């Protein structure tokens, strides 16, 4: 998936991705086949979490998550439960 080929993402995550691309962020990885997530898209830089919080709001289908697993780079992202898709970026401060 390139920055310009993002049709695979659900509409909710698509809005967040397009915002990130306009900010200068870029897609660095696309992963499929995880047990809980069918598609995981990773960005090179931190996400604009204020924008994410505004867009996610109280939508029960969306969750904000953080991973600080010592085996992997720290990440912050958004999960769309119904689509089983995730969009993430480097965690702030890392």
CA triplet 50, 93, 87: central angle to 5 degrees? 50
DSSP string, 52-74: HHHHHTT-TTEEEEEE--TTS--
Give the residue numbers spanning the domain of 73: 11-90
Q: How many domains does the chain have?
A: 1
**Per-residue pLDDT tens for 13-53?**
999 999 999 999 999 999 998 888 999 999 999 999 999 99
Q: How confident is the model at residue 74 (pLDDT cuts 50, 70, 90)?
A: confident
Look at residue 2 and tell me if it is in a domain. no
Q: Whole-angstrom Cα distance, residue 52 to residue 77?
A: 9
Q: Residue 73 has what pLDDT?
A: 80
Query: Is residue 37 one of the residues assigned to a domain?
Result: yes
Does 39 map to a domain?
yes
């Amino acid at each position: 998936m390139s920055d310009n080929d993002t049709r695979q993402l659900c509409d909710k995550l698509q809005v967040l991705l397009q915002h990130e691309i306009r900010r200068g962020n870029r897609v660095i990885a696309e992963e499929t086949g995880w047990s809980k997530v069918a598609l995981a898209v990773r960005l090179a830089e931190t996400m604009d979490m204020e924008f994410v919080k505004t867009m996610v709001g109280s939508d029960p289908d969306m969750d904000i998550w953080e991973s600080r697993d010592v085996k992997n780079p720290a990440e912050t992202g958004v999960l769309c439960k119904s689509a089983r898709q995730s969009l993430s970026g480097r965690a702030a401060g890392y």
